[in-house]
Amino acid sequence: MAGWAVWLALAGGVLVVVAPVLHRVSVLPLGPALLAVPVGILISLVALLLSVTVLVGGRPMPAGRGRVLGAATFSALTGLVPILLVLPGLRAPAIHDITTDLDTPPRFDAVVPLRAGASNSLEHGGATVADAQREAYPDVETLVLSRPLAQVVEQAREVAVAMGWEVVAADAEAGRVEATDTTGWFGFKDDVVVRVRGTDGGSVVDVRSVSRVGVGDLGANAARIRAFLERLAAPTD
């Protein structure tokens, strides 16, 4: 059991950690990479169960307990942590296009050529998607600021850079910032457009975040918009 625990921990870890990395460097297609992760999680959980059973049962001898303890720790990281990360997003609706303005969603321009071959369109899904978003994310709303348009556009660009996004375009005259955010695990690319419109008292800001692949996004686009608007709304010096 001790030997199986160690080897299964290694096998599960390879599937959970290495498969997404291979996808990011374009070695492994998305389908097999996505399939490898739940299989790896299952294997890691089996390894964790075996490791705990061995340790609780007082086996193996002290010289081998370190390896089993290492297998238990590693399999807990690759088996339980991904579940804890994904679990909150399982309640999210199966949509991948989130915006603060559901009546007239901000439109992309500079990002469009970069999405060649993407499985998801930039055309908004209409009333069905809008209703699902309103129910799931009622707090994703337009931001009103008492700052001039040009200043807000520049601050939006700075916030995007600070959040690790790749800024594709920033046009103060058009009141638009476009950027791409790459997720950490699989390297998924989600595109963001920030639209700023001037008013008598300042500016109104709308944001739209759209995934290039995937039917759902596990709540990632809404979380991204919330984080961006929170930073942008912070008082300036």
**Number of structural domains the chain divides into:** 2
Identify the band that residue 237 occupies on the pLDDT scale cut at 50, 70 and 90: low
Query: Do 85 and 198 lie in a common domain?
Result: no
Q: Which whole-number Å values give the CA distances from 23 to 10, 19, 37, in the listed order? A: 19, 6, 12
Query: Do 75 and 100 lie in a common domain?
Result: no
Q: What pLDDT is stored for residue 144 in this prediction?
A: 97
Residue 24 has pLDDT above 90, yes or no: no
Cβ(140)–Cβ(98) below 8 Å? yes
Cβ(228)–Cβ(159) below 8 Å? yes
Query: Do 80 and 101 lie in a common domain?
Result: no
Query: Do 74 and 137 lie in a common domain?
Result: no
Query: Do 118 and 53 lie in a common domain?
Result: no
We report the CATH number of the domain holding residue 173 as 3.30.530.50
CA nearest neighbour of 167 among 158, 175, 189: 158
Residue 36 lies in domain: 2-90
Query: Do 115 and 165 lie in a common domain?
Result: yes
Query: Do 29 and 73 lie in a common domain?
Result: yes
Query: Do 215 and 196 lie in a common domain?
Result: yes
> Which of 57, 90, 123 delimits the end of a domain?
90
> Which of 63, 90, 117 delimits the end of a domain?
90
Cβ(10)–Cβ(72) below 8 Å? no
Residue 63 has pLDDT above 60, yes or no: no
Query: Do 213 and 119 lie in a common domain?
Result: yes
- Please state, rounded to an integer, the average pLDDT across all residues of the chain: 91
> Which of 37, 57, 90 delimits the end of a domain?
90
Query: Do 148 and 205 lie in a common domain?
Result: yes
pTM: 0.84
| Strand ranges for 129-201 from DSSP E | 143-145, 166-171, 176-182, 189-199
Cβ(168)–Cβ(178) below 8 Å? yes
DSSP state of 69: H
Residue 67 has pLDDT above 90, yes or no: no
